[in-house]
Amino acid sequence: MSFSKHIENRNDYQTPALLDYIRKAFSSEDARHQTLLDEMQTHGLPAIQIGASEGKILQFLIKSCQAKKAVEIGTLGGYSALWIADALPKDGKLYTMEIDPDTAAGTKKTLKEVGLSDKVSIVIGDANETLETIEPFGPFDFCFIDADKISYPNYLLWAERNLCPGGIVAADNAYLFGQVHLNPDMAGADAVAISAMQSFIKILTDPSRFSISAMIPTGEGLAVGIRGRQPKVE
C-alpha cells in the first residue's frame, strides 16, 4: 500500500472500524465502569452518558491542569464521575450535581460499591440553585458540564467565577445534537436551546473570559476552555 497520494491533502479518515480500534487502544474500561452501566440499565436511566473515549479526554484535561477539586453538573448514573474521580489525586474531591433525588440515591449507592463514596459528593437539586452551596469549597480546578442545555450559559458563567486561573471547563453535547449552527429564529420549538448553546459558545470563545478555547470533535462535540487570570465582571 502506498501512502504517497495522501501526503498533499488532509482528509477525514474516521470510520466506525477505525474509531472502534482507537477506543479499545486508548479508553479501556474496567469492572467498575460496567457495574455503573449495568446499574443505570437496571434503574431505567437513559443511555446518554459520555463514552469511554470522552472519559479518557476528561482525564487528560484533569491531569494536564493537575486538578485536585472538580465539579460535575449532571451526575446521572455516575459513569462520568468515575472517569473524573479516577483522574484526581487520592486527596482530590468531586462535587457532582444531580437534580433528581431518586437518581442521586441510586447513584450514591453504586458509587459506594465501586469505592468512591469518600471522593465523590452528590449535591441534590437544580444546579442553578445548588451550585452556590459548594462555592465555599472553591475555587475549583476543573468543571464538567453535561446537564440541561438551556442552562449551559449560566453554568459556564458560574464556572468562570469559581474556577481558579488556569482551571479547565469542558462541556458535552456542544453540537446540540447537530443543531447548534441553525438560526434560532427558524428553529421552532428548538429555538431556546439553540440560542442558549450559541450564547454558551460566545462566552467560551471570548478571550477576555477564557484564555483559550476549542471544540474537540467528538460525536456530540466537547467544548473546552481555560479560565483566564481574572473573571470578567458583568
187 versus 134: which is more confidently predicted? 134
The predicted pLDDT at position 230 comes to 66
Confidence category of residue 112, pLDDT binned at 50, 70, 90: very high
Confidence category of residue 5, pLDDT binned at 50, 70, 90: low
The predicted pLDDT at position 9 comes to 64
Q: Reading across the β-sheet that carries 120-124, which strands appear in turn? A: 120-124, 93-98, 69-73, 140-145, 163-171, 222-227, 210-216
Number of domains in the chain: 1
Q: Is the pLDDT of residue 29 over 90?
A: no
The predicted pLDDT at position 232 comes to 60
Confirm whether 9 is domain-assigned: no
Confirm whether 41 is domain-assigned: yes
Q: Is the pLDDT of residue 116 over 60?
A: yes
Above pLDDT 90, what percent of the chain?
Answer: 71
219 versus 159: which is more confidently predicted? 159
Confirm whether 24 is domain-assigned: yes
Contacts 24+ apart (CB under 8 A), 25-31: 26/53, 26/56, 27/51, 27/52, 27/53, 27/55, 27/56, 28/52
Q: Is the pLDDT of residue 53 over 80?
A: yes
- Let me know: does 122 contact 107? Beta carbons within 8 Å: yes
**Beta strand pairing status for 69-73 and 140-145?**
parallel
The predicted pLDDT at position 3 comes to 53
Confirm whether 2 is domain-assigned: no
Confirm whether 169 is domain-assigned: yes
Q: Mean pLDDT of all residues in the chain?
A: 91
Q: pLDDT tens digits for 71-107?
A: 999 998 889 999 999 999 999 999 999 999 999 999 9
What CATH number corresponds to the domain at position 32? Answer: 3.40.50.150
Q: pLDDT tens digits for 167-179?
A: 999 999 999 999 9
The predicted pLDDT at position 233 comes to 57
Confirm whether 63 is domain-assigned: yes
Confirm whether 98 is domain-assigned: yes
Confidence category of residue 231, pLDDT binned at 50, 70, 90: low
Residue 200: all three cell numbers together: 454558551
Q: Which domain holds residue 61?
A: 17-45+52-227
30-44, 140-154, 181-195, range with greatest mean pLDDT:
140-154
Q: What is the pTM of this model?
A: 0.91
Confirm whether 6 is domain-assigned: no
Q: Is the pLDDT of residue 156 over 90?
A: yes
The predicted pLDDT at position 47 comes to 85
